């Protein structure tokens, strides 16, 4: 089976899952280094994983070479919201005793739920 024969939905799931794993691993590595705040560790992990996600989904999952400023703007707007939400959530819940990795997983779960709806009905419509 070549890359062209793999359904877009399977590619999308692979990219999403590997992006989430990349984000979580980077977050843990940065946090374990102990040199930056949780919020900064989160932002760095999210930026790297989002860049990976956008490029792979655009070029591999959906084989798109065309640029849409509207979709890119909405994608970046949602990215900014998600990054702000997750940074605040992780910091706030860590301050009340929730382990940072657990807080990160919860925030990622919330983001997955609303991103699916927004990607499907707003960003890539």
pLDDT of the residue at 84: 94
**What's the Rg (C-alpha) of the chain?**
15
Looking at residues 103-117, what average pLDDT do you find? 87
Show me where the domains of the chain are located: 8-123
pLDDT of residue 1: 47
pTM attached to this predicted model? 0.70
Joined together, the tokens standing for residue 109 give 């779960």
pLDDT digits (tens, 9 = 90+) for 11-28: 888 989 999 999 999 999
């Amino acid at each position: 089976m070549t890359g062209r024969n793999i359904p877009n939905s399977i590619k999308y799931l692979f990219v999403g899952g590997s992006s989430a794993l990349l984000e979580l691993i980077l977050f843990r590595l940065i946090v374990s280094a102990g040199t930056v705040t949780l919020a900064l560790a989160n932002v760095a992990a999210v930026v790297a994983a989002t860049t990976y996600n956008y490029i792979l989904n655009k070029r591999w999952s959906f084989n798109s070479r065309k640029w849409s400023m509207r979709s890119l703007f909405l994608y970046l707007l949602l990215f900014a919201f998600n990054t702000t939400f997750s940074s605040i959530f992780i910091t706030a819940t860590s301050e009340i005793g929730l382990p940072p990795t657990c807080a990160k997983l919860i925030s990622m779960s919330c983001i997955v739920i609303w991103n699916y709806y927004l990607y499907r009905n707003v960003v890539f419509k």
